[in-house]
Structure formats: C-alpha cells, structure tokens
Amino acid sequence: MCGIVGYIGPRSAQDVVISGLRRLEYRGYDSAGIAVGSDGTLSARKKSGKITHLDEELAARPLPASHQGIGHTRWATHGGPTDSNAHPHLSQSGRVALVHNGIIENFAELRAELEADGVRFASETDTETAAQLLGRLVDEGTPLAAAMRQVAGRLEGAFTLVAIDSDDPDRVVAARRNSPLVVGVGEGENFLGSDVAAFLEYTRDAIELGQDQVVEITRDDVTITDLDGSTATAVKPYHVDWDIAAAEKGGFDWFMRKEIYEQPRAVADTLLGRYSASGELTLDEVRIRPEELRRIDKIVIVACGTAFYAGLVAKYAIEHWTRIPCEVEIASEFRYRDPIIDPMTLVVTISQSGETADTLMAIRHAREQHAKVIAICNTNGATIPRESDAVIYTHAGPERGVASTKGFLTQVVACYLLGLYLAQVRGMKYREEIAAVMDELSTMPEKIQRVLDEGQQVLDLAGELRDEHSFLFLGRHVGYPVSLEGALKLKEIAYKHAEGFPAGELKHGPIALVEKDIPVFVVVPPRGRDQLHDKVISNIQEVRARGARTIVLVEDGDDEVLPYSDVVIRHPRVSTLLQPLVATVPLQLFACELATRLGHDVDQPRNLAKSVTVE
Ligand code: AGP
C-alpha cells in the first residue's frame, strides 16, 4: 500500500505534491520521491526513509519551478527500501516518469521482453517495468494516455499507475485496477491521489476511478476512458465531508477499524503473484535451495503475541500438508530452553514489524545453531528479514493500529503458502491437491468481505456486553489459536479479562471460571471434521449448563448448535484449516467496538507499543 499524488495547475507542483505525500505517509513510508516537468525536461528526486529525507534532498538539490508533478511514498513489496527502488521511476529515455501502487504479477516476463530489447533497468521493482513499457510507446510517438491504456491492458495484478511526459507539460495521466485512485477536481487545477487526503486541503470535489479506467487531467479538464479508449460512463463525482484526520483513516474512527475492513484486499494482495498459471507455487524470496528444504526434518515457528497465534494456526496446516513435525515457540522463551536445533531444522519467524527484539534474538540463536531461517514479515527491509535466509512478505500494507488485525490474517495466509510450497517441493502433495487449496484461498477475500458486511450483529453485541468483566473464548484445532487471538484483542484494547482455552481443556480446571451469564465465545469447527464438531457441541452444552451466555461462531447451515446458543454468528462455509480467516474477523470487530464504546484509544492502547524492540 503506497501513497500517490498527481497535480496539474497554477500552484507549485512541488509544494502540492510534497504536502499531499505528508498526508499519505501513513500508507507507506520506507521511501519517497517526486518528479516534475518543466521546459521539456523531467526532474526527479527520491530517497529511502521518511519524507524528511526527501525534504533534505530537495533542499540540497532543488527542483526547477513546475506546475506538473507526481509523487509517491512507498511501502515496499518488490525490492528493498533503497534510493534506486524508490519511486518515481523514469523510462530509459528520461521522457516518462511513473509512480505505482500495487503488485504487477507478470512483471518478470515483461521485464525479460524489455531487456531482450536492450532496455537497461535501474531498479529491482515491478514498477520500473511499467515505466519502461510506457516510455517505449511514448518514444515511438504514442500519446501518453493511449500508451497508458495499452500498458494497463498488458499488466496482471493490482495497480494504480500515475505518469507524466516531459513533452506534454499540461497533463498527468493515470490508470487503476484493484488499487485505489481518486481525482480531486479544482478550479483551474486538478489532482490525483491514492485517497482524498492527498488533496483535501485544496478541493473537496472528487471522482472515484472505476476498474480498468484511465484518467487524463489538465488544468481545466478531467477525461476518463475505459482501456479501449471509449468514454467511461459510470463516472461517480462526490463531495468529501471528512476532515483531514478522518480522511487519513478513510473515514473510519480508528486505523484499527480501517485495517479490519482492509483485510479482503490485504489477503488478496498477499496471494497475488504467488501461484503461476501452470500451477506452480512461487514465493518471493525463498533463498533456500529445494534440495535443502527436502532435507528438513523439523520446523520450529518462533514469534510473539498475535504472530505466535498465527504460528499455531500454521502448525496444523503445515503438519497436515507436509508431515514435517512443527513446533511453535514463544520467542522470548525459545532460546532460554536450550532448544534442539541443527542444520536439518527450518526456523520460521513471523513478525509484522520485523523489529521485535524477542523474535530477532531467537533467530540469531537459531542461526548460531546453523538452522535455516525463513521470515514471514510485513515490513520490507526490516531487521528480521535482513537477518533471515529467506523471506515471505505479507502484503497487508502499513498496520498503524497497535492491535494487529490484517497483519494476523495475512500472516496466516503466508503460513498456508509456505506449507503448500514445502509440500510442493517435497512432493507431499499432488499439483491438483495444491490447486484445490489455492482455489479455495482465492475465494477468501470475498468470504471475509461477507463477514464484514454482516458485522452489525457483532457491533450490537459489543454494546450489550460492554460492562461485562470477564470473557472466555473456546476452540479446538485451528479454532483454539483463533480463541487465543480473540481474547488477546479484548485484553489489548478493551482492557477486559479474557482467556482463550482449548475447548477440551475446560473440564480440567478452567470450567470453574464459568458462572451465570459469563460470555463464552465458541469457535465451532466446520462439520467436515465431525469428531471435532461433535465434541465442541458437547463443550457448549457443558458451559451452558453452568449458566454461561454462549456466543457461537459457526458456518452457514450448521443448525446443530442452535439449541445451545444464545447468540449465533455465522460465517461462510470453508475448509477446517482455513476457518481462521473468517472466524477471527467477528472477534476483531467485537473488540474494536467494545473498546470504542468504553471510550478507549483503540489505536494506541495503554502500556502497549506497535513494535516491541526491547527484550
Ligand atoms: C498484537 O495485536 C500485538 N500488537 C502484539 O501481540 C504483536 O503481535 C507482537 O508484539 C508481535 O509483533 P510483530 O508481529 O511485529 O513481531
């Protein structure tokens, strides 16, 4: 998820673009850049790090005055956060500058085509491929908008592209698919932005671009076409009522709530580009040879907090698909228990921030024991990926809420991808078996969206239970880590006593906690696993018989739970192993709403930090 700004008008393009980038810094901040056109030449400045680094660069090397400009704050997906990988990217002739948000799935083959034509690339990014394709067409005489339509038609994946042509100083052109872009309509000036925060200080009149549409803005005109060049019909102008602060949160009250609703997109982006048309799973940076992975005889997953719970989900999936023993360890405990680690051990670390000290120290210990380390991380270029042998990046975009939500769901997806990849490399799964799981994973964004669309029931429940003091969460199999995660969310932001248990463990002590009306959430396994399902039904009866208020999360059509449930929260039918992707979401919504109703700071709860960089 990156921040994009475009401008054409009487103001200083640099001023408008830089102020817009500051408003969008929450969308990504590992590098930033700007390009402007003046007197038939493009000038660009770009720096890794926060926008302040770009400010210093602009002070040292000022841009020429200009009224045409584009800018970008990056959240790296392909290629680390370096100056050369920062956007904008220029075409080889220097005539076209481009910024991009999203993931171009087929960039490798397009890059090979261009390199075969003698194009020399200056970066590792997927974005530069689009810049070179665009530049080649424009150099051959194709107008920028027509070139943009052609290039967008060749790309696969998700993208917002914004470009300028040095020989066309009165225009900025953009295209989008599965990635946001809005037009800001001014008086004698027009704007482009990843969201309205980019231009809200100048205009509140906006137009949202539709799928596969191309927009040209000049000072006085906004022209929107489809990829075939026909005038777009479903153009939706609207007036923005949000204030700037609300705009940064996309109109939501909290970053956490916004991030909960971003999960369909985050899961889809994490799946993008990892499964080829030929049915091959390819992970971005697994720099461990297949023959080494075939020799692995044990996996140890190491993480903290929510990431640890993602690891618990991963254990079920990885052991089922690969038959490799898989341990899951709390990072702060791992190295003090003198773990049995050797070169045949694969250590998998999971970390949203990539800077968690406990996890970092654990992998350093593992590497000292000559284990191979794969990092699952959401932050490109962070310390943990840098110190690992291989990396699978989640593509959740920046997660600002201290309580992790989209970070968790995309970690779980990345763990599934790793498990399937290992099964593929070790020949434990046939191609069609992997295809079946990948096909179901590809339906998860829409299933998560349905859970979100039906979330009002959970928000109302939070209002009803806001004064409760204690909550229990029960689950079996992958429902157990979901229960732990649901309890952690409530602890973190609502400051409520909440505990997750394996449902079968209750009778060994914790059931003594059950008293009249205590809210007990129960994650019911899909009926495909009848043994599990029937046992959880029994567990619901056990707590209900002792007066508990049972709140049951269960798949569509499962009415066996009805006689024992005070509240039934439905989710779409999914395979047992994939259930965390739909069952966690209501628990996230519940915690967020309850904390909101209690008047807490949901994004920055007391005593907590987003990244715990101390042991
Ligand atoms: C989760 O909501 C918490 N913010 C916390 O448990 C977090 O998951 C843990 O500190 C690990 O952080 P990391 O994923 O950045 O390593």
* Three-state DSSP string of 245-278: HHHHCCCCCCHHHHHHHCHHHHHHHHHCCCECCC
- Residue to mutate (ligand 1; options 332, 352, 411; most atoms within 8 A of CB): 352
- Domain of residue 471 covers 450-597
User: Residue 458 to residues 110, 249, 335: CA-CA distances in angstroms?
Assistant: 46, 21, 40
Say whether both 400 and 365 belong to one domain.
Answer: yes
578 C-alpha to ligand 1 centroid (Å): 21
Indicate if the pLDDT at residue 26 is higher than 80.
Answer: no
Q: Decide which of 223, 248, 273 is a domain's last residue.
A: 248
Question: 492 in a domain, yes or no?
Answer: yes
Question: 608 in a domain, yes or no?
Answer: no
Question: 213 in a domain, yes or no?
Answer: yes
552 sits in which H/E element: strand 549-555
User: Ligand 1 site: residues with CB under 6 angstroms?
Assistant: 304-307, 351-353, 356, 359, 402-404, 492, 611-612
Nearest CA to ligand 1 atom 4: 403
Q: What is the mean pLDDT of the chain?
A: 94
Tally of domains in the chain: 3
Question: 3-state DSSP call for residue 608?
Answer: coil
Question: 487 in a domain, yes or no?
Answer: yes
Lowest mean pLDDT segment, chosen from 21-30, 92-101, 506-515: 21-30
Task: Please list the active-site residues.
Answer: 2, 610
Please state the rounded mean pLDDT for residues 357-364. 94
Indicate if the pLDDT at residue 217 is higher than 80.
Answer: yes
- Residue to mutate (ligand 1; options 358, 612, 613; most atoms within 8 A of CB): 612
Question: 394 in a domain, yes or no?
Answer: yes
Question: 609 in a domain, yes or no?
Answer: no
571 C-alpha to ligand 1 centroid (Å): 26
Say whether both 455 and 428 belong to one domain.
Answer: no
423 C-alpha to ligand 1 centroid (Å): 28
Say whether both 164 and 38 belong to one domain.
Answer: yes
Which structure tokens are listed for 373?
């380390």
Say whether both 16 and 158 belong to one domain.
Answer: yes
Taking only the tens place, the pLDDT of each residue in 65-103 is: 999 999 999 887 777 778 888 999 999 999 999 999 988
Question: 610 in a domain, yes or no?
Answer: no
User: Residue 499 to residues 423, 473, 482, 514, 598: CA-CA distances in angstroms?
Assistant: 34, 6, 11, 12, 20
| Distance, CA of 486 to CA of 494 (rounded, Å) | 12
Question: 3-state DSSP call for residue 477?
Answer: coil
| Distance, CA of 218 to CA of 378 (rounded, Å) | 37
436 C-alpha to ligand 1 centroid (Å): 31
The CATH number assigned to the domain holding 185 equals: 3.60.20.10
Say whether both 15 and 54 belong to one domain.
Answer: yes
Say whether both 319 and 393 belong to one domain.
Answer: yes
Sheet holding 236-239, edge to edge: 41-48, 31-38, 68-74, 3-8, 190-193, 182-185, 205-208, 236-239
Say whether both 354 and 454 belong to one domain.
Answer: no
Question: 3-state DSSP call for residue 192?
Answer: strand
Nearest to 108 by CA among 266, 288, 273: 273
Say whether both 111 and 239 belong to one domain.
Answer: yes
Is residue 263 within 8 Å of residue 409, measured between CB atoms?
yes
User: Residue 212 to residues 159, 173, 179, 378: CA-CA distances in angstroms?
Assistant: 10, 13, 10, 27
Greater pLDDT, 228 or 282 = 228
% of the chain exceeding 70 in pLDDT: 99
Residues 603, 609, 611: CA angle, nearest 5 degrees: 115
The CATH number assigned to the domain holding 530 equals: 3.40.50.10490
Question: 3-state DSSP call for residue 469?
Answer: coil
Say whether both 230 and 275 belong to one domain.
Answer: no
Is residue 473 within 8 Å of residue 521, measured between CB atoms?
yes
Q: How many residues can be counted in the chain? A: 615
Closest approach atom of ligand 1 to CA 384: 16
Indicate if the pLDDT at residue 301 is higher than 70.
Answer: yes
Q: Is 556 left (phi over 0), alpha (psi -120 to 50) or beta?
A: beta
Helix ranges (DSSP H) in 192-339: 244-248, 255-261, 263-271, 290-295, 305-322, 331-334
Closest approach atom of ligand 1 to CA 488: 2
Say whether both 472 and 522 belong to one domain.
Answer: yes
Sheet holding 372-377, edge to edge: 326-330, 298-303, 345-351, 372-377, 390-393
Is residue 63 within 8 Å of residue 34, measured between CB atoms?
yes
402 C-alpha to ligand 1 centroid (Å): 8
How would you classify the pairing of strands 31-38 and 41-48?
Answer: antiparallel
Say whether both 244 and 264 belong to one domain.
Answer: no
Is residue 580 within 8 Å of residue 481, measured between CB atoms?
yes
Please state the rounded mean pLDDT for residues 250-254. 91
Indicate if the pLDDT at residue 9 is higher than 70.
Answer: yes
Q: The whole model's pTM is what?
A: 0.85
Indicate if the pLDDT at residue 607 is higher than 90.
Answer: no
Say whether both 34 and 50 belong to one domain.
Answer: yes
